[in-house]
Structure 1
Amino acid sequence: MCLTPPIPIAFSEPLSSPPRLTYALLGINGAVFVFFRVLIVAGMLGFVSTELPEKIVHWVGYIDSRRDPWTYLTASFCHVEFLHLLGNLLFLWMFGSYVEDRLGLWPYGFLVLGGALFGSIGHSVSLEMTHAVADMQKPAIGASDIVAAILGAHLILNPGLETKFFSVLIWIPFRVIPLTWSMPAIFYIPCWIAMESYSAYSVGSSAGVAHAAHLGGVAYGVVFGIACRLLPKTGWAAKRRIREEEERALRLAETEYANFQDALSKGAAEFALHLFRREERGQPPLPVTPTEKLTLAHQLRERGEHFVAAKLYREMLADESNPEFRLEAGLRLAEITLDREHDIEGAKRLLRVLHQRYKAHPGYPEVHALIERVKRAERNLFKRPS
């Protein structure tokens, strides 16, 4: 019986934007691999020297005994074996996409560069400690150090994000059982780090895998992730803080809007008004419909809150997008202006506007009736006592 290595296939949350830099890294690694394949085929056909691919690997790969400056970066984009490339690109695509989504383009770019650098440094430190002279002459290549840095940052930035894995359990003989399960980063990545630490201690790089480079990359990724969480001026911290504030504000607005509608349906105008006035508390306005706003104003007017109701009516009267509601708001505001504020001139100005705009409207008779009331009030005001 044996279990194939788990393969990440999905995450529990969607991405908020396309991971452009991750796609670029995938493309670069794939293009370099194809380039080496073409050189190998060209060598077999006699167009180039069969030793050319190996010479290029020795030039771009990180060799500890030489430590050429450019190889700290170029080694991480070079693969000559297909399975090595496939594994790295899969993890780069799955985990890199989410880390880039959380960090943004530039911080993620620094994470990638630092992962390549510290992966090479970790490899050198391991060779110095183990005195592996033969391995100091061999080129170390592959994006594993970058992937390790991404995993380290992912552990800090997205510890609870569920990753869905696929694996195959093979029973001898002739039975294959596909398995899928989900696991958060806080459980999966520490297990991977422990396995890499054990491998680096027990076999080093003698098995052809630079485990210490993985540890160097993941250590950098963890530190980078902690810095992004703690430093207030980092782009990720600001972006994360804004996102969290927006999410909290949205949840609060949804809850308060539901409470507003409930209060309005029960006639609790004072509480509905408190929720409606959230802009005065520095919060975004509720998505109140014109009908709900008009209902709130009517309820406040019925409860004697004429000044507050008049304010709402004026807001609706200034909204050019809802002519039907403007007429109703204008009529009620005219009544308050005439009956409660005793401002005959103000009522006349308001009714003059309604008369001009709604003369052909079916609701005009109510406008005309109010105009007659204003005229009677004006006559009574100047009527001399007998």
Structure 2
Amino acid sequence: MFLPFYDDNRLKGIRFQYLTLALIVANVVIWVFFSATGETGAYLSGFELSYGFIPSVVNDYAQLPAEYHVQPTAFSFVTYSFIHLDFWHLLGNMLFLWVFGDNVEDGFGHVRFVLFYMLCAAAAAGAHALTLPQSDSSLLGASGAVSGIVAAYLMLSPRVWIWVLVLGRFPLALPAWILLLVWIAYQFTMLALGDTDVSYGAHAGGILAGALLTLVLRRRGVPLFAPPAQSL
């Protein structure tokens, strides 16, 4: 739909988004490692079985071969979110995380932000397991956690203006509430239509978790639906 690349929304409670940057670096480093070892795209099978989230395994419809059972199954509720299939998969998620994550980290504080991110990733995986309980395919990528960040940003800064590339080409600036509500509506619409090319169930789970967690994890005194500190 669109790729965000700038928002005019300065930080108020923290000096720098250290943990947003740390999450981006972690995802990129893991991607670079896979690229260096040839474990990307069609060659990712071993890693996605070991660290991806597989509904049929979590729901006890299937078992992993012993050589791929390298961590407790419960860990896959989070580890899947650090593995991306290709560069474009990584780029899209990291752009969303960079543009929206800093202000969510600002609204939550550093520690609560990381907790929020992990809980959104886990909720997204859980929703994916509910919508496709017997799927043998691995869920991969940060989009579930990023969906939670989108929901939090919408609740914290709906009137900030955001620059995006529409269809990857055309720059456009609109208020966050328009862009993000359209994006969220699209996720739920595709879920209702039964599209399984992308895990819209995971996106929906991340969105719902993000909205609920924003109510309880944001820093004291941080208002909901605040006006922007600056405007374009």
TM-score band by shorter chain is 0.7 to 0.9
Unaligned runs of 5+ in 2: 59-72
Q: What does residue range 96-245 of structure 1 map to in structure 2 within 5 Å?
A: 96-128=101-133, 133=134, 136-167=135-166, 179-205=170-196, 207=197, 209-228=198-217, 236-238=219-221, 240=222
CA offset at residue 184 of structure 1?
2.1
Q: Is the 8 A contact 1:204 1:212 kept in 2?
A: no
CA-CA distance at 1:13 after TM superposition: 2.5
* Aligned partner letter, 2:220: A
For the 8 Å contact 2:9–2:103, the answer to whether it is kept is no
Letter in 1 for 2:211: V
If asked which structure has higher relative contact order (CA below 8 Å, sep 6+), I would say 2
Counterpart residue type for residue 101 of structure 1? D
Aligned-partner Cα distance in 2 for 1:105–1:69: 24
**Residues 301-380 of structure 1: pairs in structure 2 closer than 5 A:** none
State the percentage of identical aligned residues: 27
How far, CA to CA, are the matches of 2:130 and 2:18 in structure 1? 33
Q: What is the TM-score when the length of structure 2 is the normalising length? A: 0.82
**1:195 alignment partner AA:** Y
> Take 2:96 and 2:167, find their aligned partners in 1: how far apart are those partners?
18
Decide whether the 8 Å contact of 1:126 with 1:204 is kept in 2.
no
Counterpart Cα distance in 1 of 2:6 and 2:47: 36
SS of the equivalent of 2:163 reads: strand
Does the alignment pair 1:35 with 2:40? no
Deviations 1:168-199 (A, max 9, x none): 69xxxxxxxx6433222222212111111111
Matched positions, count: 208
* Partner in structure 2 of residue 81 of structure 1: 86
In the aligned structure 1, how far is the partner of 2:167 from the partner of 2:50?
39
Residue number among 8, 12, 26 corresponding to 2:8 in the alignment: 12
Instruction: Give the Å deviation of 1:14.
Output: 2.1
| Whole-angstrom distance in 1 between the partners of 2:54 and 2:2 | 31
Q: C-alpha separation between the residues in 2 aligned to 1:179 and 1:10?
A: 14
Query: Whole-Å Cα distance in 2 between the matches of residues 180 and 65 of structure 1?
Result: 41
CA RMSD, 1 decimal: 2.4
Moved over 3 A (4+): none
CA contact (8 A) 1:154 1:225 kept: no
Q: Which amino acid aligns with 1:6?
A: F
Larger helix fraction of residues: 1
Q: Is the 8 A contact 1:8 1:163 kept in 2?
A: yes
Q: Larger Rg: 1 or 2? A: 1
Q: Distance in 2 between matches of 1:179 and 1:204?
A: 26
Secondary structure, counterpart of 2:56 in structure 1: coil
Q: Secondary structure at the match of 1:79?
A: coil
Matched letter for residue 137 of structure 1: D
How many Å separate the matches in 2 of 1:13 and 1:154? 11
CA distance in structure 2 between the partners assigned to 1:79 and 1:179 by the alignment: 26
Q: Indicate which of 98, 120, 127 corresponds to 1:93.
A: 98
CA displacement 1:82-109 (0-9 Å, x = unmatched): 1100100110111111111222101211
